[in-house]
Amino acid sequence: MSGLCMASKLLDAGIADFTVFEKADDIGGTWRDNTYPGLTCDIPSRYYTYSFHPNPEWTRLNPPGPEILTYLRRVADERGLRRFIRFGTDVTCAEYREGRWYLTTADGEQAFDVLVTATGILRVPRLPSITGLDAFEGPVFHSSQWDHSIPLPDKRIGVIGTGSTGVQITAALGGRVRGLSVFQRTPQWVCPWPNMSYSRPARALMRRWPALTSPGYWFWGWFVRFGFGRGPIQPGFQRRLFSALCRWNLRLSVRDRELRRKLTPKDLPMCKRMIFAGHYFQSVQKPGVDVVTELIEHVEPRGVRTADGALHELDVLVLATGFDARAYVRPMNVIGRAGLRLDEVWADGPVAYRSVAVPGFPNMFMLMGPHSPVGNQSLVPIAEDQADYALWWIRRIAEGEVVEAEPTETATKSYNEDMKAAMPQTIWVSGCSSWYLGKDGLPELFPWVPERHAELLATPDPRDFEVRASQV
C-alpha cells in the first residue's frame, strides 16, 4: 500500500525516473500475503482508501481483505504503476556512498539519488518457540501463510493466539468446523462492531458519480481521528466510551460465568491493539469450540498437550502468533554515511525523526517508519502524509537545489524525548504486555492525536536537517 502511494505521488508530481522493488511476484503486501478466513480490515473502508483514488466498490463498512487487494491492483493498473515495478526482486543491501544509494539485488548493484523504504509493518511472521512443534502430524502454518488446499469443515483445528488475527479466524470458523480449540494466553477486549453492507444501488450511484464517496471518506476520517484516535492517547469521553463498549459487549454476549471469567482481561481496554469484531463472543460459544487457557506444555504428533496434562487432539494447527513489529526495513542491510549500519543505530530500539528519517542516512525517507501513529490512525493517510514529506525533499534534490539532506542528531533526540515525555498520558503504559512495547518498556507508537502527525509532516523544517546544497 505504501509503495503504491509513493509511486502515485511521484507520477502526480511529474517525476517518472524511479524504480519500485518488490520481492514478491505481485503487488498487495499485507493484503496479498494474508488470506486467512475472516480477514477484514479494522478501519472503515471509506477511510482505508487513497484520498486521490476513491473506490465506489466497497461492499462493507469494514473492507474484507480480498476487496482491498482488488482495490490496490486496480490502483496500480489504472495509474499505470506496474511498468515501474521490478517484481520478484529482493533488495538485500542498501548502501550510501559517494553521494548515492547503491541497492544490491540478485542482478547486481544499481545506484539511486534517493531511497524511500515502503516495506510496511507486521510483515515478518513471528513463530512461537513451542517444544515439539515440528512433531505434529497434521498441517502447521502461520496465519499469513494459510494453506487453502486443506478442507476445513471436517477438521479439528487448533488456533494459537487471540490477537486481532486469532479473533477473526475464530469468528469465521466457530461452529463451521468439526472442532475448534482456541489456545488463549491472555484474553482480549473486543469492541462490538457490526460490519454492515453497502447496497448495490448505493455502489452503483458512487460508481456513476465517484464524488459521492467523499462524504464517507471525510466522515469516517473524522470518526477515526476524533473518536478511536483520541481514546488511547488522552483521558476523556472517548476512552470512557470505548472502555464501556468493550466491557458491556463481554457482559451481555457471554452469559456463562466461567467462560466469561476466561475471556475477561486484567488490563484496561485499548491498552493493547483494539480489536473490533461483531460476533467473536458468539462464535466461541458455539458447539465444538473450546477456549483453552492452560499454558501449552508441548506439541505432540496428535495434538497439543497443556500444563494440566490434557491432550487436545487436532488435525490442523494454525499459528496466529503475530509479526515482528520492529522489523521495519530489515532484514535488508542498510548502511549509511561512513559505513554506519542501521542495525547499530537501532540496537536499543528503532528511532527516527518524525517517523520518516534517521541521522546518518542522507536522502533516505521511510514510510511507516518508527513511531508512526499506527495505533490510532488509518495507515493509508499516514502513508500519504509521509510520502508528501519525502516528495518535498525529492523535488528539491531533483531540481538540484539540494544534494544531501538528513535530520540532525539534536533534532531527532529532541523529538524522541518529547515523545517519551508524552507517553504517560497514553493508555498503552497502563500495565499490559503487548507488541506495542519496545526494549525500554515504552510503546513504539505516536503519543499524540493523529492530526498532529500530519501537522508535523505538513511543512518540513530545513533547520532540523543537515543540508548540503548545490554549489551551482
Domain residue spans in the chain? Answer: 2-124+329-435+455-469, 133-196+228-319
pLDDT over 80 (residue 276): yes
Largest CA distance in the chain: 76
Q: What distance in Å separates the CA atoms of residue 389 and residue 355, rounded to the nearest whole number?
A: 11
- Residue matched to cell numbers 481483505: 65
pLDDT over 90 (residue 330): no
| pLDDT at residue number 404 | 96
Report CA-CA distances (Å) from 328 to 48, 64, 270. Answer: 21, 25, 23
Binned at pLDDT 50, 70 and 90, residue 435 comes out as: confident
- What cell does 161 get? 493466539
Range 305-310 average pLDDT: 98
Report CA-CA distances (Å) from 222 to 66, 84, 322. Answer: 25, 34, 29
What sign does the CA torsion over 35, 38, 41, 42 have? negative
Rounded to 5°, the CA angle 30-36-39 comes to 70
- What cell does 47 get? 477511510
pLDDT over 60 (residue 281): yes
Chain centroid offset of residue 380 CA = 10
Range 53-63 average pLDDT: 96
Q: What distance in Å separates the CA atoms of residue 111 and residue 108, rounded to the nearest whole number?
A: 10
Q: What distance in Å separates the CA atoms of residue 106 and residue 84, rounded to the nearest whole number?
A: 18
- Residue matched to cell numbers 502524509: 385
- Residue matched to cell numbers 458447539: 287
pLDDT over 80 (residue 472): no
- Intrachain domains 2-124+329-435+455-469 and 133-196+228-319 with the same fold: yes
Q: Give every CB contact of residue 122 below 8 A, 6+ residues apart in sequence.
A: 30, 322, 323, 325
Binned at pLDDT 50, 70 and 90, residue 471 comes out as: low
Half-sphere exposure of 460 (CA within 13 A, CB side): 24
Share of the chain above pLDDT 70, in %: 100
Q: Which range among 120-124, 158-162, 273-277, 357-361 shows the weakest confidence by mean pLDDT? A: 120-124
DSSP state of 355: T
| pLDDT at residue number 38 | 96
| pLDDT at residue number 438 | 87
Range 98-107 average pLDDT: 96
Q: What's the order of all strands across the beta sheet hosting 316-319?
A: 140-142, 316-319, 156-160, 179-183, 289-292
Binned at pLDDT 50, 70 and 90, residue 470 comes out as: confident
Burial class (CB in 10 A: 0-12, 13-18, 19+), 168: buried
Q: What distance in Å separates the CA atoms of residue 157 and residue 303, rounded to the nearest whole number?
A: 10
Range 224-244 average pLDDT: 94
Kind plus residue range of the DSSP H or E element containing 164: helix 164-173
pLDDT over 70 (residue 134): yes
Q: What distance in Å separates the CA atoms of residue 434 and residue 103, rounded to the nearest whole number?
A: 34
Tens digits of per-residue pLDDT, 362-409? 999 999 999 999 999 999 999 999 999 999 999 999 999 999 999 999
Instruction: Evaluate whether 15 touches 394 at the Cβ level (below 8 Å).
Output: yes
Q: List phi, psi (to 5°) of 131.
A: -60, 130
Q: What distance in Å separates the CA atoms of residue 82 and residue 70, rounded to the nearest whole number?
A: 14
Q: What distance in Å separates the CA atoms of residue 43 and residue 51, rounded to the nearest whole number?
A: 15
| pLDDT at residue number 111 | 98
Nearest to 197 by CA among 91, 66, 62, 310: 62
| Amino acid letter, residue 311 | L
Helices (H) and strands (E) in the chain, counts: 13, 20
pLDDT over 80 (residue 237): yes
- What cell does 358 get? 534517521
| pLDDT at residue number 228 | 87
pTM equals 0.95
| pLDDT at residue number 441 | 86
Q: List phi, psi (to 5°) of 400.
A: 85, 5
DSSP state of 366: E
For 133-196+228-319, CATH number out of 3.40.50.12780, 3.50.50.60, 1.10.150.240, 3.30.1330.90 equals: 3.50.50.60
Find the distance separating the first CA and the last CA of the chain, reported in whole Å.
38
| pLDDT at residue number 124 | 87
Q: What distance in Å separates the CA atoms of residue 358 and residue 338, rounded to the nearest whole number?
A: 14
Q: What distance in Å separates the CA atoms of residue 28 and residue 76, rounded to the nearest whole number?
A: 10
Mean pLDDT for the chain?
95
Topology given in CATH for the domain delimited by 2-124+329-435+455-469: FAD/NAD(P)-binding domain (3.50.50)
